């Protein structure tokens, strides 16, 4: 294995010498360098994030001040969907749908995994590049294409897809049922199919790279936890994304070729449709077979980033390295057999519901192990509160808060009454939305010097974190209560229910926090884009970290290391090792004579 890796090095070294003259196009556009592709993913992810978050602010305004006229609605949504500045009910559903789709897939899957898997896998395992740079490039450009198609669906005549991000048929299959299920839905499906192809190419690349291209001495138990989570995430992606692809294809068949996979016995707009024998429940199974692992595809990389950043900034080894790996594996395994907890009341056999309750609540165990290990990592540390560290601590906090309510939603009995209410929204936004976003921010603050050779402004980072932290709780904590009051999600307004009149003040509060929190993301955007050009120049290893990416030069070169790839002699968490005077020992430092390994 190591001999093969060596052979690969030489090949690349050789290539490297003849590869100095990159044109603008090969360097910045059709690049096959993993570092550039990572940056491309990041910038695309940020742009999609701006759009996704802006959409949520728009519909939050509608929820707080229902059917009130806002000039901005008219400006952004046009005369058709916001005549006189009042948001129409079908565009409300479209905004909700596209917000979910963009945030889950384009920001927190591609934006997060795409950026950091690409950036860190070769750098941290000691490889010149991904196993297939070309496939990596194709993966990014397919992602870009799918993003363009998704955004173009916003401009079709009848509006974009509006059946919810879960696109349950028959609503998503029948334009008679909702206008967004016409061209808008077609574009959604095409975009997702391309997205899945992109995601699969990326994932296969990550898996192959981690397995084959580790440098000498980099055994699996010396991999940083980031790599472990990216590796496991890629495996879950390869297992589950194809199932969504098949669901999308069958839905396309039902929509366009008259098959009846998901449709049966439908009478709509005054006529009986020909569909017979299909079942929407089948679609739900196929969708959630991806859909649930998907939330772990989103959160696992964030967990990896947070583990790494916490260890570095605590100047302490991550507590329970092996337990962390085991829990990632356990979560990954369980994540594939719990999808039915989204379907307790879908009409599937209640006995099946019992099984899914059992497997779902089991996930709490590895999750608890992770949370306690992070907390113990902080104990007796020497905490360096860089912005990345703040976001990491914030991530653990929201992961716990959001995760705990999962005990309610994962229990079929309790799910009956909170299913599809705002309680669910509060739960999953905290546990996977905000947490993964925090993980992503932490990653950006931590590895920005590696990506751009400059530092982000820390004071802006502090402001960004604290305002976001207060607003995130301000938005999602009160939301639990309106969910417990029985308010269903995806309601354009609840003014038709006097029963919910007393929830309106809470809605106003939530929206206010959302607007403030949203506005303060501008601080981050300013910091990010101005620091690319004007930030303080970074040193080679600004956070005094042990992992291999900090042994590469600040200026990017194709092939990562100018000379030979460093060899690895120790695990990645030798912080404050009592055998050494300095408080960090990089992985490429050989063991001292007679030095004992102090961890399991």
How many angstroms separate the CA atoms of 169 and 245, rounded?
A: 15
CB 185, min distance to other proteins, A: 13
CB 472, min distance to other proteins, A: 11
Distance of CA 104 to the CA centre of its chain: 6
Minimum CB distance to other proteins smaller for 133 or for 517: 517
CB 196, min distance to other proteins, A: 23
CB 487, min distance to other proteins, A: 9
DSSP string, 486-546: TPBSS-S--TT-GGGGGGHHHHHHHHHHHHHHHHHHHHHHHHHHHHHHHSPBP-SSTT---
Q: What are phi and psi of 178, to 5 degrees?
A: -160, 135
Contact between 538 and 489 under an 8 Å Cβ cutoff? The reply is no
CB 29, min distance to other proteins, A: 30
Query: Residue 399 corresponds to which tokens in the numbers above?
Result: 């992961």
| Listed residue (302, 367, 294) closest to 328, CA to CA | 367
Minimum CB distance to other proteins smaller for 43 or for 383: 383
CB 182, min distance to other proteins, A: 13
Rounded CA Rg of the chain: 24
Query: Residue 161 corresponds to which tokens in the numbers above?
Result: 């897809």
Minimum CB distance to other proteins smaller for 169 or for 586: 169
CB 172, min distance to other proteins, A: 9
Contact between 458 and 390 under an 8 Å Cβ cutoff? The reply is no
Minimum CB distance to other proteins smaller for 208 or for 282: 282
Query: Residue 519 corresponds to which tokens in the numbers above?
Result: 């506005």
How many angstroms separate the CA atoms of 352 and 341, rounded?
A: 10
Contact between 305 and 391 under an 8 Å Cβ cutoff? The reply is no
Minimum CB distance to other proteins smaller for 350 or for 590: 350
Give kind and range of the element (H or E) at residue 267. Answer: strand 267-268
Minimum CB distance to other proteins smaller for 134 or for 526: 526
Minimum CB distance to other proteins smaller for 556 or for 599: 599
Helix (H, G, I), strand (E, B) or coil at 454: strand
Contact between 288 and 338 under an 8 Å Cβ cutoff? The reply is no
Other Cβ atoms closer than 10 A to 399: 26
Minimum CB distance to other proteins smaller for 127 or for 163: 163
Contact between 264 and 275 under an 8 Å Cβ cutoff? The reply is yes
Minimum CB distance to other proteins smaller for 198 or for 401: 401
Residue 126 Ramachandran class (φ > 0 left, ψ -120 to 50 alpha, else beta) = left
CB 82, min distance to other proteins, A: 14
Minimum CB distance to other proteins smaller for 30 or for 477: 477
CB 537, min distance to other proteins, A: 7
CB 380, min distance to other proteins, A: 4
Residue 381 DSSP code: -
Helix (H, G, I), strand (E, B) or coil at 109: helix
């Amino acid at each position: 294995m190591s001999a093969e890796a060596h052979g690969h090095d030489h090949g690349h070294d050789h290539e490297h010498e003849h590869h100095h003259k990159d044109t603008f196009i090969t360097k910045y556009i059709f690049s096959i360098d993993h570092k550039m592709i990572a940056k491309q993913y990041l910038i695309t992810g940020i742009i999609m994030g701006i759009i996704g978050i802006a959409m949520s602010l728009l519909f939050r305004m509608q929820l707080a001040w229902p059917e009130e006229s806002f000039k901005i609605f008219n400006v952004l949504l046009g005369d058709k969907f916001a005549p006189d500045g009042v948001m129409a009910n079908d565009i409300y559903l479209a905004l909700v749908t596209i917000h979910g789709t963009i945030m889950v897939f384009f920001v927190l899957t591609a934006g997060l995994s795409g950026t950091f898997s690409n950036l860190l896998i070769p750098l941290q395992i000691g490889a010149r590049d991904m196993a297939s740079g070309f496939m990596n490039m194709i993966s990014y450009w397919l992602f870009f294409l799918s993003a363009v198609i998704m955004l173009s669906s916003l401009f079709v005549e009848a509006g974009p897809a509006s059946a919810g991000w879960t696109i349950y048929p028959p609503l998503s299959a029948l334009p008679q049922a909702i206008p967004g299920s016409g061209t808008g839905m077609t574009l959604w499906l095409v975009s997702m199919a391309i997205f899945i192809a992109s995601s699969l190419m990326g994932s296969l690349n990550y898996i192959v790279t981690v397995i084959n291209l580790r440098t000498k001495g980099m055994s699996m138990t010396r991999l940083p936890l980031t790599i472990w989570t990216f590796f496991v995430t890629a495996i879950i992606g390869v297992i589950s994304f194809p199932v969504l692809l098949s669901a999308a294809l069958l839905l396309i068949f039902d929509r366009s070729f008259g098959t009846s996979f998901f449709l049966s016995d439908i009478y709509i707009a005054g006529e009986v449709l020909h569909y017979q024998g299909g079942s929407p429940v089948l679609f739900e199974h196929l969708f959630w077979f991806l859909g649930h692992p998907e939330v772990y595809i989103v959160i696992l990389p964030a967990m990896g980033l947070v583990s790494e950043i916490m260890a570095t900034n605590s100047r302490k080894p991550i507590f329970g390295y092996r337990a962390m790996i085991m829990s990632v594996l356990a979560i990954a395994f369980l994540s594939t057999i719990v999808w039915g907890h989204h379907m307790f009341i879908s009409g599937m056999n209640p006995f099946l519901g019992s099984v899914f309750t059992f497997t779902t609540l089991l996930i709490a165990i590895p999750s608890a192990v992770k949370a306690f290990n992070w907390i113990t990592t902080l104990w007796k540390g020497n905490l360096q509160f860089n912005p990345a560290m703040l976001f990491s601590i914030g991530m653990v906090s929201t992961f716990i808060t959001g995760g705990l309510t999962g005990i309610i939603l994962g229990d079929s009995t309790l799910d009956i009454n909170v299913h599809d209410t705002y309680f669910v929204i509060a739960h999953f936004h905290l546990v996977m939305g905000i947490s993964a976003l925090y993980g992503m921010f932490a990653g950006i603050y931590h590895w920005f010097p590696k990506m751009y050779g400059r530092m982000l402004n820390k004071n802006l980072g502090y402001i960004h974190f604290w305002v976001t932290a207060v607003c995130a709780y301000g938005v999602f904590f009160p939301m639990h209560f309106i969910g417990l009051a029985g308010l269903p999600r995806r309601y354009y307004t609840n003014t038709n229910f006097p029963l919910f009149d007393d929830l309106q003040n809470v809605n106003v509060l939530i929206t206010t926090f959302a607007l403030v929190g949203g506005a303060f993301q501008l601080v981050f955007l300013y910091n990010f884009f101005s620091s690319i050009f004007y930030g303080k120049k970074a040193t080679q290893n600004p956070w005094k970290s042990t992992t291999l990416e900090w042994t590469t030069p600040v200026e990017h070169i194709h092939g990562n290391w100018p000379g030979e790839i460093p060899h690895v002699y120790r695990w990645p968490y030798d912080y404050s090792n009592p055998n050494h005077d300095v408080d960090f020992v990089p992985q490429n430092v050989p063991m001292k004579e007679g030095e004992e390994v102090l961890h399991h």
